[in-house]
Amino acid sequence: MIELILGGARSGKSRVAELRAQSAYENNQSTDKKMVYVATARVYDDEMTERVELHKLRRPEHWLLVEEPLKLSDVLKTYNDTDSIILIECLTMWLTNLLCEPDPDVYSLEKQKLIKQLQQSQAHILLVSNETGLGVVPMGELTRRYVDEAGLLHQTIAQMSERVTLVVAGLEQTLKSPE
């Protein structure tokens, strides 16, 4: 199962994803079940350090933390089994990391690898991402590319997902559901 959970900054999307992941973990009957939290952020300043600490405090101790800012497909490949619940936090941070790489083609390559691995995955995957396309069109070239690429990435993953949720003010709006 693939779930995409979208929302703006401080919308509550991470909390929704964490609660869903924990519920999926508790409902998994396997004795080998794993809860894998994939953090894509790179910590550059005190403000980001505080955000990371808040996320750490909310996570249960049994969750395995994998810090991977670029190669999400490698993580999905490592945990490609029905015993794994994988929460990726977050796609837009991953996108930012890749767009800031010196090689301009690295994003396209990593995106293709991610999509391929999502198609092959047996794990329950929850992807958290910022919905950035609802606001003003940015002025800078890199920022416009970021918004465009995020929108295209969201469309691709939403088509693959069994469930898509938009979170606004802590409230969930179901956009696509398996029911």
Split at pLDDT 50, 70, 90, the class of 37 is very high
Split at pLDDT 50, 70, 90, the class of 113 is very high
pLDDT at residue number 157: 98
Q: CB neighbours (10 Å) of residue 129?
A: 23
Sign for the pseudo-dihedral over CA of 94, 92, 23, 2: negative
**Segment (H or E) for 147:** helix 141-160
Which CATH superfamily does the domain covering 2-176 fall into?
P-loop containing nucleotide triphosphate hydrolases (3.40.50.300)
Write down the catalytic residue from 55, 62, 124, 154: 55
Q: From CA 72, how far away is CA 24, in angstroms rounded?
A: 21
Split at pLDDT 50, 70, 90, the class of 5 is very high
Q: What is the mean pLDDT of residues 69-81?
A: 97
The residue type of 115 is I
Split at pLDDT 50, 70, 90, the class of 18 is very high
Residue extents of the structural domains in the chain: 2-176
62 given a catalytic annotation: no
Tens digits of per-residue pLDDT, 136-153?
777 899 999 999 999 999
Q: From CA 128, how far away is CA 116, in angstroms rounded?
A: 18
Contact call for residues 124 and 1 (beta carbons, < 8 A) = yes
| pTM for this prediction | 0.93
Question: Token pair of 39, please?
Answer: 């953090």
Tens digits of per-residue pLDDT, 19-30?
999 999 999 988
